[in-house]
Structure 1
Amino acid sequence: MLLGHPGGPYFRGKDADHWTVLKGEVEGGEDLVAVARREFAEETGHQPPDGPLIELGEIRQKSGKLVLAWAVEGDLDPETAVSNTFEMEWPPRSGRVQDFPEIDRVAWFDLRDARAMIKAAQGQFLDRLERAVGEEPR
């Protein structure tokens, strides 16, 4: 399972329960699969793999954010991933604006390790993927 670790100073040094599926915001009446493909490209610097999509449904995170996800079989070298960036004032109230990667790294996890690393609510995606493929995905 390919997961992303959020970038920026708030997530530095935080691993377990902080990794996430690659995701982003829907703009206007965009097609949801097109959004998922765009966000994958923005957060990895690679086009998503072609192939049949496995719909993993939706979950609501603790923050209230609704997240929809799909899976597709693929292979990506995590060392080649480069994320888009965002700006924020850092340190707070310093007047200094800095750029940070949206995702500071991606990594492959087996299902057991992914469960330990992914945000708690997103664990449902792992359950659904396991049921859909009938075996433990990479």
Structure 2
Amino acid sequence: MTARRSAGLLLFRRTATGLEVLLGHMGGPYFTKKDAGAWTVPKGEYECDEPAWDAARREFREELGLAPPDGEPIALGEVRQSGGKTVTVWAVEADLDPAAVEPGVFTMEWPPRSGRTAEFPELDRVAWHGLEQARAVIVTTQAAFLDRLAEHSSSGA
């Protein structure tokens, strides 16, 4: 069995109050009433024969329904999430209107053990967050990407 891997793009923009990042709230019934720990970098799984950068751009399109923005990618490295998945992320400076997002969907059995399936959005909402607000709601291990972006930004790069 190969290790599960995901790749994603973290959009950021500079505002008068500092950096903001675009995060997505995970869709589906398990996250409906959750805020802290339920926001994520738009990302998705890929196979070992697909370059991670290509997967990050493909997943951005699948999750948000929009073309990934052009821009100079900033490698933010990878983290290993508690479930064992390794996530690799790049940051790209770009602006995007969350109202333009048309999220992809996934199907799962719901309610559990009912034999019925239902469709849910991959991300049920997308929003810009300042870095401190983002740290409070993002999947815990993904906060490392916010720290790396802040470090990159403060280094004058």
Determine which of 67, 83, 86 is the counterpart of 1:63. 83
Q: 2:124 aligns with which of 104, 111, 130?
A: 104
Aligned to 2:99: 79
Q: Deviations over 1:47-101 (max 9, x none)?
A: 1110100000000111111000000011111111111111111111112111111
Aligned counterpart in structure 2 of residue 42 of structure 1, from 62, 85, 99: 62
Residue 64 of structure 1 aligns with an amino acid whose one-letter code is: G
Q: Give me the whole-angstrom Cα distance separating, in 1, the residues matched to 2:64 and 2:109.
A: 24
Q: After the TM superposition, which segments of 4 or more aligned residues of structure 1 sit over 4 Å from their partners?
A: none
What runs of 5+ residues in structure 1 fail to find an aligned partner? Answer: none
CA distance in 1, matches of 2:45, 2:38: 18
Q: CA deviation at 1:28?
A: 4.2
- Matched residue of 1:9: which SS? coil
SS of alignment partner, residue 49 of structure 2 = coil
Number of residue pairs matched by the alignment? 135
The answer to whether residue 64 in structure 2 is matched with residue 5 in structure 1 is no
TM-score normalised to the size of structure 2? 0.83
Structure 2 counterpart of 1:132, which letter? H
**Structure 1: distance between partners of 2:80 and 2:63:** 21
- Please, what TM-score do these two structures have when normalized by structure 1? 0.94
Residue 30 of structure 1, aligned match among 50, 57, 68 = 50
Q: Structure 2: which 5+ runs fail to align?
A: 1-20
SS class of match (1:34): helix
- Cα distance in 1 between the residues matched to 2:106 and 2:94: 27
Identity of matched residues, %: 58
Mapping of residues 12-27 of structure 1, within 5 Å: 12-27=32-47
Query: In the aligned structure 1, how far is the partner of 2:50 from the partner of 2:66?
Result: 20
Letter paired with 2:93? E
Structure with higher helix content = 1
Alpha-carbon RMSD: 1.1
Distance of 2:48 and 2:119 partners within structure 1: 26
- Name the structure where strand makes up a greater proportion of residues: 2
